[in-house]
Amino acid sequence: MAVREIPHRYLNFVILLMISALVQTNIYLLVPNFEYISQEFRIGDAMIGLMSGFYVIVIGISTLLWSILADRMETRKIIMVMNLVLALFFSALSYFIFDFTWFLLSQLALAFFIGSLSPIIYSFITDLFEPGERITSLNIWNIISSIGSGIGFIIGLITGFFGEWRLSILSGGIALMIAVVFSLIVKEPIRGMSDPQISQVLIEKKLRYPYRLSLNDLGKAITRNRTNLLMISQAVLVYIAWGAFSTWSMHAIIRQANTSSVVATIILGIASAGNLGSLVFSPIADKVRRRNPRKVVILASVALVIETITLSTMLILIPKINISSEDLISSLFIAFRKISSDLRLQVAIGIGAIGLFANSIISPIRDSIIADINLPENRATMISIITISIFLGRGIGIFTVGLLSQYFGSLIIGIILTQLSLIPASFLWLRSREIYIIDLNEFSSIMETRRLDLIRGFTN
């Protein structure tokens, strides 16, 4: 029986997408309300920054800890349900706390339990979809998760606008409550059932995958598997550039175009439509992966070069707009009128959309490669290590732009210089194309041995 014939596969996938979106709404709920939180608790920007920074750090650390535990357990769903319930508890607790210290601790506890969801869901998805399908499924997961984050930000913005920022926490709690219900419904796939070497044995014989994470084997996978090392390295380099652009580009446009944050957000929002192009491209990338895995690596390398050129060009081309209004409705009207009449601005946004499209296809290709070359019991942990590398790269990129901007007196120069980190990242992708094939063959050899072991164990 092929993996695609397993009943409820797509239903399970949709439920996992819903859980991801609901959990992700909590990530940016408070961001639009930092000013109101500061006023209520009578704290300064430093404490707000401490809360926001440690929130991200705790998510990163907990992601690794929970993924190791999940890879060592037979039933990963237990961790998912338990942590969603605990996240719901601390979300509700945050709503009723009026002391900043306890509020901070409850938010960090919420982050600690939320951090477990991403690697577990990744592990589930890579068990549902076989090689040649994973780029598309992981891309859809990334998009839906981003939509969830965006919805959370909008909810925070609306509740803050009406002066009721605590309602954003209540909304996040309701989202987590629904996620708990979905986590009880979702069926955990058999670990390894999407890997063609063992899927038939596992499904037809109704066997459980007997292998669990060994820290010794994980260490070997990190230090001896060269594709893993290259993927970790390129993740740092890619997110130096992306951390710089995603954090500072709005401020750079405000200064370059002499405009408001609302207008800058509108420009970047329109350009972000380029991300949706990955929905069309990811099935093509999967088709390329099935025919020749080397070529999908080359696609990622080319995409990084395109991203470097286009995002830098976009920032250079942005013309003076001279709109200072922060009013949302009037800014929308004026901004769209300006865009429709200014060819240079249209070209800048179009080029930016191409760059954001190129950026959007890197992550699903990378994550599918991690699944392709790592044993099923290692995948959640390896993707967590990639996540930590991403956080590291983002932090370096954000900090570097600040330094370069101060030195050169220009945010745009700072952002463009950090985009150059994509060039060595592109080289690492090219370097990995043959190594990827070697590691794929080694993976297939190990899984074939395990298939024979499973058959012998069943017959004995």
Q: Give the mean pLDDT of 182-202.
A: 90
Q: Could you tell me if 240 and 388 lie in one domain?
A: yes
3 confidence band (pLDDT: 50, 70, 90):
very low
- Tell me: do 101 and 216 sit in the same domain: no
Q: What is the pLDDT of residue 56?
A: 80
Residue 74: closest CA among 209, 171, 245 = 209
Buried b (16+ CB within 10 A) or exposed e, 95-115: eebeebeebbebbbbbbbbbb
Mean per-residue pLDDT for 215-226?
A: 82
Angle at 249 between CA 58 and CA 420, to 5 degrees: 85
pLDDT tens digit sequence for 225-248: 899 999 999 999 999 999 889 888
Condensed to tens digits (0 to 9), the pLDDT of residues 352-378 reads: 999 999 999 999 999 999 999 999 999
Q: Are residues 356 and 387 in the same domain?
A: yes
| 236 and 127, same domain (yes or no) | no
- Classify residue 372: in a domain, yes or no: yes
User: What DSSP line would sit under 318-374, residue for residue?
Assistant: -----B----HHHHHHHHHHHHHH-HHHHHHHHHHHHHHHHHHTHHHHHHHHHHHHS
CA 314 to chain centre: 24
Whole-angstrom distance, CA of residue 338 vs CA of residue 360: 27
Q: What is the pLDDT of residue 52?
A: 78
* 216-220, 272-276, 369-373, 426-430: least confident range: 216-220
pLDDT one-digit tens code per residue, 82-108: 999 999 999 999 999 999 999 999 999
* Section 276-300 average pLDDT: 92
Q: Are 323 and 263 in contact (CB under 8 A)?
A: yes
Note down the domain range covering 138. Answer: 1-189
Domain boundary among 139, 174, 189: 189
Residue 31 belongs to some domain of the structure: yes
Above pLDDT 70, what percent of the chain?
97
> In the predicted model, is pLDDT for residue 1 greater than 60?
no
The pLDDT score that the predictor gives to residue 328 is 64
**CA pair distance 380, 154, nearest whole angstrom:** 30
One domain, residues 443 and 346: yes
Six token digits for residue 244: 């710089």
Say if residue 327's pLDDT is above 80.
no
Residue 52 covered by a domain: yes
Total number of domains in the chain? 2
Q: 3-state SS string over 21-73?
A: HHHHCCCCCCHHHHHHHHHHHCCCHHHHHHHHHHHHHHHHHHHHHHHHHHHHC
- The domain boundary, picked from 157, 189, 221, lies at 189
> What residue type is assigned to position 350 of the chain?
G
pLDDT at residue 460, as a whole number: 46
Q: What angle do CA 124, 246, 100 make, to 5 degrees?
A: 80
* 292-313: average pLDDT: 95
| Domain containing residue 233: CATH number | 1.20.1250.20
Give domain status of residue 201, yes or no: no
Verify that 70 and 177 share a domain, yes or no.
yes
Confidence band (pLDDT; 50, 70, 90) for 458?
Answer: low
Q: By percentage, how much of the chain surpasses pLDDT 90?
A: 57
Q: Using DSSP, state whether 253 is helix, strand or coil.
A: helix
pLDDT at 5 over 60: no
What pLDDT was estimated at residue 50? 79
pLDDT at 326: 60
Q: Are residues 141 and 256 in the same domain?
A: no
User: Distance between CA atoms of 160 and 29, rounded to whole angstroms?
Assistant: 10
Q: Is the pLDDT of residue 391 over 90?
A: no
Residue 211 is classified by DSSP as: -
The owner of tokens 């949302």 is 328
Handedness of CA 255, 258, 260, 264 (dihedral sign): negative
- Of residues 141 and 9, the one with the higher pLDDT is 141
Q: Tell me the pLDDT tens digit for each residue of 57-76.
A: 888 889 999 999 999 988 89
Any domain includes 364: yes
199 belongs to a structural domain: no
Q: Are residues 184 and 260 in the same domain?
A: no
> 338 pLDDT exceeds 50?
yes
Check the CA dihedral 232-76-219-434 and report its sign: negative
CB 191 within 8 A of CB 77: no
- What pLDDT is stored for residue 4 in this prediction? 43
58 belongs to a structural domain: yes
Q: Which residue type, as a one-letter code, is found at position 381?
A: T
Amino acid sitting at position 30: L
Q: If you average pLDDT over every residue of the chain, what do you get?
A: 89
Q: Do 146 and 290 belong to one domain?
A: no
Q: Give the model's pLDDT for residue 32.
A: 79
Determine how many CB atoms are found less than 10 A away from the CB of residue 320.
12
422 lies in some domain? yes
Lowest mean pLDDT among 181-195, 352-366, 377-391, 396-410: 396-410
Please indicate, yes or no, whether residues 154 and 224 belong to a single structural domain of this protein.
no
Do residues 266 and 341 share a domain? yes
Q: Are residues 303 and 372 in the same domain?
A: yes
